[in-house]
Structures are given as C-alpha cells and as structure tokens.
Amino acid sequence: MKVPLNDGRSVSRVGVSSRRRFIQSGGLLAAATLTGTAVPAGPAVAPWQGGGNASAEQPAAAPLPNAGGPILWGAEAAEWRDDPASGARIIQLTSAAAISNNVYGEQPYCSPDGKRLVIARCQDFCFDLEGSLLVHDLSTLHTALIARRMVGVRGVCNAAWSGIVYYWTPQRRLMRLSLASLAVEEVYREEDPQAPLPNASVSPDQRYVIGLARRLRGPAAPTFQIVRLDLARKRRSVIFEHREISNPHLQFHPVHGKQILVQHDRGTFLLPDNSLEYRRNVGPGTRLFVLDADGGNQRELAAGPPHTASCTGHECFVSDTGNVAFSAMWTAIDDHHWTQDPAHPQGNLFTVAPGDPAPTVFPAPQYLFNHISVSRCGRYFVADAAQGGLFRDGRLQPVCLVMGNLQTGKHRVLVAEPLCYAGGNQCTHPHPYLTADNGHVIFNANPGFSIPQVFAARIPQGFLESLT
C-alpha cells in the first residue's frame, strides 16, 4: 500500500512476510519497497557551498553514492537464535565478505528512536585508509549504503544517540548525515592539506567537532593536541595540549556538552620522529580527567592508580548524573586464571564524578568487565565480560554480554555466548552498546573466527524489569 509522507510524496510498504522472504533470498531493495518505516528516496540536490552560520542556515543535501535514483537497501540480516540465558533474539545484521563494524560503544552511533544505527565497512581493518559508511534499519533489517569512501576504516563521529553523524571524504570535506532522512550535506571543507581532520566527538548542539592531533615542533614539543572545529565560524583551533594522551577517547558530554572526557595514557610519549615510546619508570596506569568544553579547567578523576588498577581504556559519561563509568584492569595469573585486582575484589566496573575522593564499585566479582557502555537514560550498562581466564580447556573462550542497573546493583547475562572472542584486532572486539530506546544491544562478533560482522540482541520483554 502507499504511505503518505509529510511533503506529499509516498512510498510503498510490503508485508512482514515479504520482508522475511527477501532477507532469506538476499539482494537489494529500493526505498520504494521499504518495510516498517517510510523513508523518502528523494532526488539529490547540489551540495552546500559554505559561508555563514551552519546552525542557522539549512544547507541542501549533497549527492549520495547512488545519486539520481532511490536509496538502495540491501538485505544481509539473518535471525540466528534466542539466547539460552535471557531469551534475547540474536540477529546478524551484516553478512558481506568484508569487515563490518559498529564503530564503538562509548558514544552510540544510532538514532534517538532506537531504529537506525551506523555501520562502518572495510576490507582490511589494519591497513586500509578508507572505508564505507552504511546505515542499518532495525525495524526492517535492511542496510543502506551512504558513502562508498570515507576517511578511516571507522572514521565517523557524533554526539551519542543524536542521529546526526559526521565523516570526512578523501577530498577533505566534512559531511553530515541525518539518520532520520538519510540526507547528507557538506558542512566544512578543509583547504589546508596538512591540517588535522578532527573526528572523535561532536557537541550535542552540533556546533563543535573535536579530535586529536600531534605537534612535533615548537615549545614543549613533541606533544599531543586537542583540536576543535567550530562549524558555525568555520574555524579550527587548539584548545588543549598534553604529552600523555596518545589514545584519549575524547567524548563530549552527550547531554549538555559542557565537559570533555579525556583518557590519560601515563607513560606513553610522542617522540620527534612521530613514533610512540612507553616509559615504565614514569609510572604505569591509565587514568581519566575532564575538561571544560573550551579545553580549560582540567579536573582529575579518581580512576586508575592509586584509586584502582589501571583503567582498561573504556569509559563514558553516565547521562546527566555527573558521573563517568569506567572499567579497570584485572590480574592475569596465567592464560587460564584471571581474577579481580586485589585493590577491588568486588568488581572492576566503577562510577565516579569530578571531586569524588574514590570511585563507587559496581559489585560483580564473577565478571571481568572490559568494553562498557551506558544507556541514554543513565540507568543501565552493558559490557562484555570474561570469566576465569583467556582460555578454557586449552581454547580461547568467548566473552559474554552482561547488563546491569547502576541504581539497583542488579545484573544479568543478556548474551551467554555472543560468539566474539575479543582476542584479536579491534574489529573483533564486541564494543556493545544500547540503542536509545533500550530495545537492542548492538555488538560485533566473529563466529568461528570468521569475518567480523555486526549483530543485535533484541532485549526480551521483562528483562529490564528484572534488573529493578
């Protein structure tokens, strides 16, 4: 049947049974036969030419890869099984003979309604300099190609759950994608071929983009820099410098944008030849601090030594609570025997706010949490967790996905065997996160050590209630 749209156009909708048959057969599906949500294909128009205030103007959409025709949706998904631990339906969202990735879990790359998410795709996660950008619709289990070429194998950034995603083209154009309309627009063009292209995080008002750069010459060089791109004024500036933020995991506060979370990689220094050197005598241990949005007012968090074991390097803001959630390292006796660090035997997942003398532990001694993400509401977390050790019976064992309620302290296994091992390249790590509606957990997996793909676990009815 025809479904009217706000602008007078219409698209066709087919039944669920038709969708399932199409998913099983594979192939391409045009926007004209989308199921579940009405998405106008719409003709592509000329890209925005710049000038003025980006937030005040309404730039036109730039051409999509299939300009001149409807957006094409591919059917790659397959519903695998119901998890024995929770009943969650496990769905493989991608299946191409290429590495597909959910980008990362700390700043979820999905729409505010929980229906759409971003997928990055490449052939070689280690050595490719470019990748493709896809959008998946959970209500139809279809995937659309947005950009055939973008800088980096997962070179996208956003404000968490905003539904607005940014990426750089090889021509050094910063593009903005709306997950709701799939419209793409150019918001900035970098004319300096030597300038850094910031792509770490975006402020929730969509004005600023931040990223990491390196300065090899000048006073106190070599050092790392946080670069901020002002999309309203079309200006880029350095707002902070530090010698030990080689992998800072920069994150704007997703609610108000007044703070930036920074990972402090103590003992890792930049050398004049642009290489990195780890100096053990400096004192091992990754820590965290926050800055104001302008790069000032640095405040240390009670995260990492001496408060906890070294941070794992996985952390995020907890909605508008003022807290940051993070995981800390555990003790590895050998490959078969891992235990909680003696400094915190009750668990290794914590919350902390600036000014707190010590972090608050989430009690779960049986789980060694690694990659963590917190829900948009700030109530729940999801994390991949090891139990016992890296190996079991002489074989690398998969991790499980655990959800918990930060307010009640209750936790449960959502996915007992997500078929991800987290023992190889970044693209094999699960990096789980919750969609904005708390309806799905999105994660990466490589079943049987196959090509990594993106999966979803549909949270079953009553699961969240069991955590209250």
Mean pLDDT in the chain?
86
Q: Which long-range contacts (CB under 8 A, 24 or more apart) does 297-306 make?
A: 298/240, 299/354, 299/355, 300/354, 301/352, 301/353, 301/354, 301/356, 301/359, 302/352, 302/356, 302/357, 302/358, 302/359, 303/328, 303/350, 303/352, 303/359, 304/264, 304/266, 304/328
- Would you list the DSSP string of 57-95? S-PPPPPPTTTTSPPEEE---EEEEE-TTT-PEEEE---
Question: What tens digit of pLDDT does each residue of 178-218 get?
Answer: 999 999 999 999 999 999 999 999 999 999 999 999 999 99
The mean-pLDDT minimum among 67-71, 248-252, 378-382 falls in: 67-71
Q: What is the mean pLDDT of residues 375-394?
A: 93
Question: What tens digit of pLDDT does each residue of 215-245 get?
Answer: 999 999 999 999 999 999 999 999 999 999 9
Question: What tens digit of pLDDT does each residue of 322-352 get?
Answer: 999 999 999 999 988 999 999 999 999 999 9
Cβ–Cβ under 8 Å, residues 287 and 298? no
Question: What tens digit of pLDDT does each residue of 391-402 get?
Answer: 888 888 889 999
Q: Quick one: fold of 2-467?
A: Methylamine Dehydrogenase; Chain H (2.130.10)
Please tell me the predicted confidence (pLDDT) of residue 3: 32
Question: What tens digit of pLDDT does each residue of 13-43 get?
Answer: 333 333 333 333 334 443 323 333 333 333 3
Residue 378 is classified by DSSP as S
- Would you list the DSSP string of 102-128? ---SSS--B-TTSSEEEEEEES-TTT-
d(CA 82, CA 460): 10
